Structure 1
Amino acid sequence: MNAWDLTLLHQINTAWSSPVLDWLMPALSAIEAWLPLIIVAALIAAWRGGRRTRIMLLCAGIAIALGDGVVSNTLKKTIGRVRPRDARADVIVRDLGTASPAFMRLFEKPVVKPSEPNGATHGKSFPSSHTVNMFAVATVIACFRRRAGMLMYLLAAAVGCSRVYCGAHWPSDIPPSMAIGVLVGLGVVGLARRIFQKV
């Protein structure tokens, strides 16, 4: 582990903490809690938007499936990097409280506790699937709707930071994950354009 990686981890995970961030960062990381709203927004966009919007949503879905199910999954299994919270006892673990349905977790008191490494692992650290997926979607949106894409890039960057704040990823996991997401998004859009041009 590089010294700068550990220093930056402690800075983000510990020194820059606050009660507001203790809720906000886990909330950004909890994609499943936002899933109902995301689905509703996508359905409204598909209904109200034109053909271009529907193609954009299709590309975004393919980018997530490819980025998460193929690229991230393969790299995680191949590299096998352990998460900070599973490797060190000086990391603060943050998460939303438990509730059902998952959306209600946003209204629960966040869980903030020191890590307790015991040899067990809770997933692998590299790459950050959250970051890959968010940057893939942001890239797809930017290719179709530039202004909306720029806002999505800001949200994607915040999600990437939240993964370090919550103790789930090392800082050095995030920039490569961003790049992977951008490449996946560009690849999907490029392929879609070729297919639709031929059609």
Structure 2
Amino acid sequence: MAPWDLQLLQQINLHWTHPVLDWFFPAISAINAWIPLFAVVVLLVAWRGGSHGRWMLLCIALAVGIGDGIVSNTLKKTIGRVRPRDAMTGLVVRDLAPGKPDILRLFKTPQQHPSKPRRETRGKSFPSSHTVNMFALATVIALFHRRWGVFMYGLACLVAYSRLYVAAHWPTDIPPSAALGILVALATVWAVDWLRRRFGNQQA
């Protein structure tokens, strides 16, 4: 770990803070809490987006599934980098309060506590699955709808930053994770488009 890696993390986690941000960043980092909203958007796109929208949803499902289930999980197990909140003291671990269903957590006072080193020598810090997934999502949407893609890239950057704010990842985890998400999405859309043209022409 480079000295600047820790210094930047400490600036973000300890100094560039605000009570509003103490709720905002854990909230956008808690992906499960937003699943009902995601479900509504998916249904609307599938219903009103036509075949173009449905192909986009297929590409999103494949890109996120590959990025999270294969790429991220494989690299996490192979590299085993320990999360900052599990590797050292002196950081603040932030999260939403527990609750069921998860969406109710958004309306509760967030929690925070000091980080505590654990005995484990391996962890799941690299890559950041949140970052991989969000940049894969943003890239697919940008390839289908450029204007919405700009918005989604902004949201992806906020989610990536939130992972530093809550002490879940090191700063050097983030750029490679974003690149992985973008590459997976580009490869997925290219593969789906190639299959569509290949088998679509055969059927014609």
Q: Same fold (TM over 0.5)?
A: yes
Unmatched runs of 5 consecutive residues or more in structure 1: none
Q: Which amino acid aligns with 2:193?
A: R
Unmatched runs of 5 consecutive residues or more in structure 2: none
Cα offset, 1:40, TM superposition: 1.1
Instruction: Evaluate the alpha carbon distance shift between residue 121 and residue 155 of structure 1 in structure 2; reply closer, same or farther with a 3 A threshold.
Output: farther
Cα offset, 1:90, TM superposition: 1.0
**Separation (CA, whole Å) in 2 of partners of 1:155 and 1:75:** 24
Rg (Cα) greater in structure: 2
- Residue 139 of structure 1 corresponds to 139
SS at match of 1:93: strand
**Separation (CA, whole Å) in 1 of partners of 2:123 and 2:29:** 15
Instruction: Evaluate the alpha carbon distance shift between residue 18 and residue 85 of structure 1 in structure 2; reply closer, same or farther with a 3 A threshold.
Output: same
- Residue 108 of structure 1 corresponds to 108
Q: Which amino acid aligns with 1:193?
A: D
SS at match of 1:94: strand
Cα offset, 1:121, TM superposition: 7.8
Q: Do 1:86 and 1:122's aligned partners in 2 also have CA atoms closer than 8 Å?
A: no
SS at match of 2:133: helix
TM-score between both structures, scaled by the size of structure 1: 0.98
**Separation (CA, whole Å) in 2 of partners of 1:40 and 1:122:** 38
Q: Deviations over 1:137-157 (max 9, x none)?
A: 100000000000110000000
What is the CA RMSD across the aligned residues, in angstroms? 1.1
- Residue 171 of structure 2 corresponds to 171
- Residue 73 of structure 2 corresponds to 73
**Separation (CA, whole Å) in 2 of partners of 1:119 and 1:38:** 37
Instruction: Evaluate the alpha carbon distance shift between residue 114 and residue 134 of structure 1 in structure 2; reply closer, same or farther with a 3 A threshold.
Output: same
**Separation (CA, whole Å) in 2 of partners of 1:100 and 1:94:** 18
Tell me the percent identity.
Answer: 58
**Separation (CA, whole Å) in 1 of partners of 2:67 and 2:130:** 10
Cα offset, 1:118, TM superposition: 3.0
Q: Structure 1 residue runs of 4+, over 3 Å off?
A: 120-123
Q: Which amino acid aligns with 1:15?
A: H
Matches for 1:122-133 after TM superposition, within 5 Å? 123-133=123-133
Q: Deviations over 1:106-128 (max 9, x none)?
A: 00100011112232589510000
- Residue 21 of structure 1 corresponds to 21
Q: Which amino acid aligns with 1:62?
A: L
